[in-house]
Amino acid sequence: MLILLPIGLLLLGSVAILIIDLIRPRFGTSWLIAVVSGVASWLVILFSRLRLPATLDLLSWNNPAHRLTGHFSLLLDYQSWPYVLALMTILLALLLTDAARTRFDSSPRAWVVSLAITALGLFAIQSGTSLTMMIAWVVVDLVELFNLLLLQETTQFNQRIIIAYGVRTASILLLFLGTMLGWAANGDFSFVQVPPSAGFVFMLAAGLRLGVIPLNLPFLVEPVLRRGAGNTLRMAPVAASLTLLARLPGEILMPGSSHLKTVLMALLALAALYAAARWVAAKDEIAGRPYWIVAWASFTTVSVLNGVPQSGIPWGMALILSGSLLFLYHPRIQRINFLLLLGLWGMLGLPFTPAASGWAGLLGDGFTLWTFLLLVAHGLMILGFLEHALKPGSEIGALESWARLVFPLGLIMIIQVSVVLGLFGWPGVLTSGLWWMALISNAMILAALILSRRFGVNPPHFQLPISSRTKKVADWLFPRLEPVFRFEWVYRATWQILGFFSRVRQLMSSIFEGEGGILWTILLLVLLISLLTGGGVN
Amino acid sequence: MTLSTPVIWVIFPLVAAAICILLSGRPQLSLIIASAIAFGLAVLAAFLPHELSLGPLTIVLEESLRFLGRRITLVYAMLPLIALLYAATGLWLLSSNLPGVPKTFRPISLVVTAALTAALGVEPFLYAALLIETMVLVSVPMLSSSTIENRRAVLRFLSLMTLAMPFILIAGWLLTGVDTLPPDSPLIAQSAIVLGLGFAIWLAVFPFHSWVPMISQHSHPTVFSFLFFILPTGVLVFGLNFFNRYGFLRTSETLFNIIRLIGVLMIAYGGVSTAVQDHLKRAFGFSVLVETGFSLLAISSASSGGIIWMLMMLPPRALGYWLWGYTLARLESRYDMVLNLKAIQGQSLRFPFLSSGLILAQFSIAGMPLLASFPIKIALLSQVLAENMVSGLWSFFGGLGLFIFTIRLLLSFHQPIDIEIKQPWFLQDKFPHFLPIILTVVILIISGLFPGKIFPSIIDILAAFPQLQFLP
């Protein structure tokens, strides 16, 4: 029951705030309820680390009379616990930092959404079976769909929302297909032992959902809800997909499918590199958030492909924790800018830091061109983080005294959790790791910093001068690459295919539903009879 | 006192239909009477004991009734199916006051259900073919409207359904004494072919499917959604009779392979046709083909419990079709327009509940997780995949057609027309209109999470087909 408690507490808090907001809106009381339910859930999750792994069976369809298969359960294990804690932490950080965003997007309704989405996210992360995960994904997607559509943004944005929803639905259908394959091979199974036949399709499902296989970025323009609830809305589904990746078996590719692995590695490395480059060049951290997610998610997926899914967890933590540190840092307060630099702790991959255990996932069987590209992408991600973190704030608001206290507290919490996870988040986290990989990456970062200074680009502002040739090339190239990576060509191709089938269908309709349709039917009937009876030969 | 089951579920609904005709001038009263009778008969079928004591009066129920030299036997084991059929009829009757539903719908729907019930128990059982033909003929007035296209569609429906009847009757004649024939007798194969063709025409298997999209495009959604549920259900259950009676059919691996092939073809053809449709009502028609394909696929896995899945698919299908028909009817009545993707652009801003109901109905039929059809479809597809990888994958990908169409529909719903780029929400949904949608969606979700809890006894009708319980 310990697994369900945080979900229940969050939902209770969400409902309570909604009721208060409907009856007699009180900002302070609502915030307090949100924080209390958040803190209580966070403590329960922290405590549950002592009782891993824990399983809770919810419902079973296994019924011989109905010949149905499948069961629903929640599973809190070493793979899901870090994500559960990370998601809870960013919720709490959101609530604390929201105290300083009362002039922006902070409101009781936004907390209702945040608490509910986090509760659903926890449910999805802790899914013990693919059936549970499918249901959780469906609910999370529907909640997100309705929530985004209610924002009433532009027509263009609504189209993007539906396309993103379509991609998410496709990922659910892949989960459906993977479950079918698993059941066909092994019967009912849980995430503790995912059959290899299902594992590959599950990876595709998670990859599609994360936007990495194939690279797709329907949400290049972020919705109005950008920081508070928007951050949870973006991170909760990502965390659920990352957990699925962490739970996959080591061997998901059939023996002898090395070509497929190469193709996938190439796709992932290029996706990571492109996303990292766009992250560095992004106008601000919110504009760069889709690229931030894609780059780190590519790292996690590569770890699965290399047969070390556990090594994807540190990259997932960097995505969620270090990313949220940046995304929730609004309004900017120059004096505490240094806090953001501590976010690098979770990303640099230096020995005995949380990401040190992640290098094994990127290296796999040996150092290849793709590993090098991934190292470059890693360096770019760090540079981009520095660029966005050290940018001077343009919105330094006059904060109330209590907000001045709790705002940095929210950010410190994220850093603390990152440190704690680096110590005992999951088995094997505290390691020197492949220190030479860290050395190469960090040397490249240093070199980039020095070179950029040489070329007149002074840190922390890595934006190239408008007159520079590189800037001109980038400005020409990126807008042209964007439609490619936005997946629009796939939509157009799908439309073309649908158009072709539509024309064939129209032709058949005109034959079978036209004036002579009944004659065609009778003709085919006679042909069928003659065929089935051997054409009258016997 | 002695009553017979056919009197209750065949004769009484016919009387009720006559009353509805008499009350055609008082639509509200006829609605209440027809719905109450249909639901009452459903409840009675679901909970009726063998012997009923009301104080000093003891009512004993017989299972047979002689009629014009024939016998109609409705055994107790069939009552769960009869309960479902009458409950579904009641559900559709509740929405028979929607604008545009023909006045004839109420009495005819009762007659159709009564005829179908009689077909399930008539002896000799080949007379069921005549009763199904009667059902088809009776349903013509409710399908007809004044347009030329509609008349063509109805004529096509009538022609093909009538074409099927002689095949079934000839097959029955050929099958007489087939059990005594040696296994290699050509008569066995010939009778199976003739029988198969009859069922293929009844079930609108390609190329005998043309009436389905034609009817769905040119008839009222309430009417065609009802017909598309009741007719294939009756034909499929009637088909079980043949498997139950003739050992050579149920032991023929070739036959089950052919049924699987036809099922997969229907799913793939229907799925592609649904995905590329622009017309909402035609998409419904093609989805019916997909659903029939899934039923055939389930029958083809009979040895692994497929018939149970075929039966379990019926309640979610009834709910899904009803919601789909209801939301289409509401949309159509709002605009009096052609229901295509262009015409409904931006309507979700005006009718969020109606559009959500339509989307969820389609998702439920398609087998979206959380919704009613999902548990059965995933079990069925997994089994087919285990038995034959190619068939399983084709069925899965064919089944995606409705998902694709639903996403296209969603895109259309949220694409405001040019002059209303920044259109505010302008709700025109009314509570009485969307309450049935909310209730149905809740039931669909409950069915999706707890499969077999809605009409759990539907699989008990297998007791009426003792041979099917022991398929190899």
Q: What is the pLDDT of residues A305-359, one digit of tens each?
A: 998 999 999 999 999 999 999 888 877 777 777 888 888 888 888 888 888 999 9
Query: Are residues B174 and B77 located together in one domain of the fold?
Result: no
Q: Is B414 close to A159, i.e. CB distance below 8 A?
A: yes
Query: Touching check for A148 and chain B: CB below 8 Å?
Result: no
A257 near A207, Cβ under 8 Å? no
Nearest CA distance, B408 vs chain A (angstrom)? 9
Closest chain B residue to A158 measured between Cα atoms? B414
Query: Are residues B83 and B151 located together in one domain of the fold?
Result: no
Reported as a pLDDT band with limits 50, 70 and 90, residue A55 is: very high
B291 near B351, Cβ under 8 Å? no
Probe site for chain A from B210, B359, B450 (most A CB atoms < 10 A): B210
Q: Is A521 close to B207, i.e. CB distance below 8 A?
A: yes
The range of the structural domain enclosing residue B195 comes to 124-470
A355/A89 Cα distance (integer angstroms):
18
Reported as a pLDDT band with limits 50, 70 and 90, residue A424 is: confident
Closest in B209, B369, B414 to A158, CB measured: B414
Query: Are residues A160 and A198 located together in one domain of the fold?
Result: yes
Which of B108, B123, B138 lies at the terminal end of a domain, its last residue? B123
> Is the model's pLDDT at A374 over the cut of 70?
yes
Q: Is A68 close to B422, i.e. CB distance below 8 A?
A: no
B294 near B203, Cβ under 8 Å? no
Query: Are residues A465 and A396 located together in one domain of the fold?
Result: yes
ipTM, 2 dp: 0.90
Query: Are residues B328 and B305 located together in one domain of the fold?
Result: yes
Residues of A in contact with B160 (CB under 8 A): 518, 521
Worst-scoring range by mean pLDDT, B132-146, B263-277, B424-438?
B424-438
The residue written with tokens 């020409």 in the block is A476
The range of the structural domain enclosing residue A351 comes to 4-486
A399 near A100, Cβ under 8 Å? yes
The residue among B455, B439, B110, B433 whose CA lies nearest residue B316 is B455
Query: Touching check for A452 and chain B: CB below 8 Å?
Result: no
Give, as one character, the DSSP assignment of residue A392. Answer: P
Reported as a pLDDT band with limits 50, 70 and 90, residue A538 is: very low
Residues of A in contact with B214 (CB under 8 A): 513
Query: Are residues B96 and B113 located together in one domain of the fold?
Result: yes
Q: Is B450 close to A155, i.e. CB distance below 8 A?
A: no
> Is the model's pLDDT at A242 over the cut of 90?
yes
Q: Is B452 close to A161, i.e. CB distance below 8 A?
A: no
Q: Name the average pLDDT for chain A.
A: 85
Per-residue model confidence (pLDDT) at position B444: 94
Closest chain A residue to B419 measured between Cα atoms? A155
Total domains in chain A come to: 2
Is the peptide bond between A53 and the residue preceding it cis, with omega within 30 degrees of 0? yes
Query: Are residues A481 and A496 located together in one domain of the fold?
Result: no
Is the peptide bond between A25 and the residue preceding it cis, with omega within 30 degrees of 0? no
Query: Are residues A373 and A516 located together in one domain of the fold?
Result: no
Per-residue model confidence (pLDDT) at position A485: 67
Total domains in chain B come to: 2
> Is the model's pLDDT at A408 over the cut of 60?
yes
Q: Is B369 close to A525, i.e. CB distance below 8 A?
A: no
Highest mean pLDDT among A274-283, B140-149, B349-358, B389-398: B389-398
Residues of B in contact with A155 (CB under 8 A): 415-416, 421
Closest chain B residue to A505 measured between Cα atoms? B273
Query: Are residues B258 and B109 located together in one domain of the fold?
Result: no
Percent of chain B clearing pLDDT 70 (strictly above):
95
Q: Is B452 close to A59, i.e. CB distance below 8 A?
A: no
Mean pLDDT to the nearest integer, B410-417: 81
Mean pLDDT to the nearest integer, A532-536: 60
Q: Is A521 close to B449, i.e. CB distance below 8 A?
A: no
Nearest CA distance, B383 vs chain A (angstrom)? 6
Which 3-state string (H, E, C) describes A156-202?
A: HHHHHHHHHHHHHHHHHHHHHHHHHHHHHHHCCCCHHHCCHHHHHHH
Interface of A with B in 489-528 (CB under 8 A): 498-499, 501-502, 505, 509, 512-513, 517-518, 520-522, 524-525, 528
Which positions ≥6 away from A459 have C-beta within 8 Å? Answer: A386, A390, A449, A452, A453
Q: How many CB atoms lie within 10 A of CB B57?
A: 8
> Is the model's pLDDT at A125 over the cut of 80?
yes
Alpha carbon dihedral B402, B408, B409, B412, in 10-degree steps, equals -170
User: pLDDT, tens digit, for every residue of A468-484?
Assistant: 677 777 777 777 777 76
Query: Are residues A420 and A497 located together in one domain of the fold?
Result: no
Query: Are residues A164 and A200 located together in one domain of the fold?
Result: yes
Nearest CA distance, A369 vs chain B (angstrom)? 36
Which 3-state string (H, E, C) describes A271-285?
A: HHHHHHHHHHHCCCH
